[in-house]
Structure 1
């Protein structure tokens, strides 16, 4: 008797061997003996022969009924009445290899150096919050920034995708939420199929693109300033550039699971540092309140639990910084905008142009709030479904 397995990847880690299916993003940590068992089964060896090897190697027999049940839950087994799927080549792999080839790197560095030189020579090209106010129309600012940043954010995520697909790894794009921020996100679970050293570039590729975009916009504005064009045109380009730069700075808020968080977690050899740290904080709070400890909803590695002890203060301070920034700048800014909206709509002598300007701004704000609520509800329902499935499996 033999079994059929899907194409599996195996990467040696400190705590065992990470085994998974890149096509579905299903991964699990196996001990070295378990991974070798999978290798032999995948090579077509009969179960009896593999069982004899395992018992001679480990000194105890392997419960193959439980082992196969785990493999089935992970989706590693190919059902008897189904043909084994043929591995399909990953699209855009050639484009990904070109995007990170040495000629491309030379071009990227040259553009960024030229932009820095331009900023040194022309002070008005340097980043500043004043670059946002390139027009007096309050609706035009969010319209321009929204409809330019959306494709730029997608390009940011697309660079993550290309960096992964150059390695032959599939990926998906989606929309998520970090605290009160809406974010686009690239799911690169298949990175667990390659060594840690190969994961850094896919994590940092989006930030690389942001630097390139800032450089390109800066140089474009420098050229436009020397032409016979209205002043608001290079001003608008610089506003877009500054928004892109702020998105780059946002990546340093690693406690919100930004690109740099994944770099740090990978360097520290952690599998799920963020959730392990949240569990550690909940445990400490309940201990101080003399209440029973929380029930873990996942299994974390020993490394995650050790690092969580010193990462916990950074996580708390980070969330405190974001909430403090919201209270200090976010809420007053929102209040200023909405006060202007209500004043314009309530005043009987408001010019028609200002009314239209205000209504456009109002519709955009409501749309963004509605999207945030939708993503929040969607994520909570997904977590409930996951916990219910885990309860059934238990």
Structure 2
């Protein structure tokens, strides 16, 4: 029986015929088998239907010998019990004597349920409709890049917008996390990289524990948060007009514009944004991005008359991934070309112009203090951004190298032979 597995460290029991203890597992039918996993550890594998049924029998307390006998009668071939138990141990599915299941629901599950309850949806709808009505009525409330310049003190603009974006990003990612936690699924927040962009990322690997139709809301929850923030900030700007300094109302619109840009960013799906996961879920693909990348590398090597690339031994692309990659690969190339072209056309020239202006301000002894502050703030924020980008790049490369090293060690097996485990699901 072939099983697509992931890494694990649990030690398997011997191949005796007694019963074994399993952790609480989820089983979701997929096109190529049954996705079996532990949501608490995000360990998942695709089993054939017969293998999943064998797991159901083990969960019910049926002895291993009886399960093996049932498998042989059903499939017409014997079950390699030792190998089967090794796979379950590698995945962390086996539960040792005295080992308890994780206690209670995940944290914030009740808050997640409230956040996406019907009353909450009515509030979101009311906010968005009211804000849209105000934007139609007053053109100054419509998103525009002019909103960024909410003050004449240019040094405050990059500092203020950088600071206020942090809670907005946390709200965006928090909605992703809460949408999963309302289903009882754990999640983690991390910083990652897409091409030359730094991004915050919520990891929801445990979504494999629910049907595909229930995964859409966790994927688009961040975009919902951005739409709610845009609406709320616009209405807050309206409420603050004529009350206090004018720049406070203008600041609300500036923050709203950054949320608009983050919402538009999601349409750059080739960078694996929220809409990419919506797309792959609708297409019933598991790893469309990497399958398309491999196809692009293959075509490039063919055009340059070089040997074809060797596929990652841990890559388990389904037939559907490979079929969809044929039309997604050109979109991937166009998308990356657009991002790199934008960098060459606008990003680098703009940065060079800014540095030229900064150099002039530092070299001009008559420059006002505000000009010096502008230069210092830009230098500081630029250094911080590039420093974070370098750190994340080095961290990810180091993690990938360690992962490859672990895979190579595991492939040798206990007797120098490659075990019958296909790879990560």
Question: TM range, normalised to the smaller chain?
Answer: over 0.9
Q: Check the 8 A contact 1:12/1:18 in 2, yes or no.
A: yes
Distance in 2 (alpha carbons) for counterparts of 1:323 and 1:92: 40
Match of 1:216, SS state, is: helix
Q: Which moved more, 1:18-27 or 1:130-139?
A: 130-139
1:232 aligns to 2:254 (yes or no): no
Aligned-pair CA distance for 1:49: 0.3
| Equivalent residue runs for 1:119-198 within 5 Å | 119-198=135-214
Change beyond 3 A, Cα 1:165–1:228: closer
Q: Deviations over 1:141-193 (max 9, x none)?
A: 11111111111101100001111111111111111001111110100000000
Aligned to 1:114: 130
**Structure 1: gaps of 5 or more residues:** none
Q: Deviations over 1:19-67 (max 9, x none)?
A: 1111111111111001111111122211100000000010001112222
Aligned to 1:353: 370
1:67 aligns to 2:118 (yes or no): no
Q: Which moved more, 1:110-119 or 1:62-71?
A: 62-71
Distance in 2 (alpha carbons) for counterparts of 1:71 and 1:323: 44
Aligned-pair CA distance for 1:99: 0.8
Q: Check the 8 A contact 2:293/2:329 in 1, yes or no.
A: yes
Match of 1:156, SS state, is: helix
Aligned to 1:92: 108
Aligned to 2:343: 326
Distance in 2 (alpha carbons) for counterparts of 1:16 and 1:343: 64
Q: Check the 8 A contact 1:138/1:361 in 2, yes or no.
A: no
Distance in 2 (alpha carbons) for counterparts of 1:296 and 1:40: 36
The count of residues paired between Structure 1 and Structure 2 equals 392
Aligned to 1:40: 57
| Equivalent residue runs for 1:1-394 within 5 Å | 1-79=18-96, 83-225=99-241, 227-297=242-312, 298-394=315-411
Q: Check the 8 A contact 1:252/1:260 in 2, yes or no.
A: yes
Q: Which moved more, 1:187-196 or 1:232-241?
A: 232-241
Aligned-pair CA distance for 1:340: 1.8
Q: Check the 8 A contact 2:28/2:36 in 1, yes or no.
A: yes
Q: Check the 8 A contact 2:189/2:202 in 1, yes or no.
A: yes
Match of 1:173, SS state, is: strand
Distance in 2 (alpha carbons) for counterparts of 1:21 and 1:126: 46
Aligned-pair CA distance for 1:68: 1.7
Match of 2:127, SS state, is: helix
Q: Which moved more, 1:138-147 or 1:349-358?
A: 349-358
**Structure 2: gaps of 5 or more residues:** 1-17, 412-425
Match of 1:18, SS state, is: strand
Aligned Cα RMSD in Å? 1.3
Match of 2:61, SS state, is: coil
Name the TM-score, length of structure 2 as normaliser: 0.90
Match of 2:336, SS state, is: helix
Name the TM-score, length of structure 1 as normaliser: 0.96
Distance in 2 (alpha carbons) for counterparts of 1:296 and 1:68: 28
Aligned-pair CA distance for 1:386: 1.3
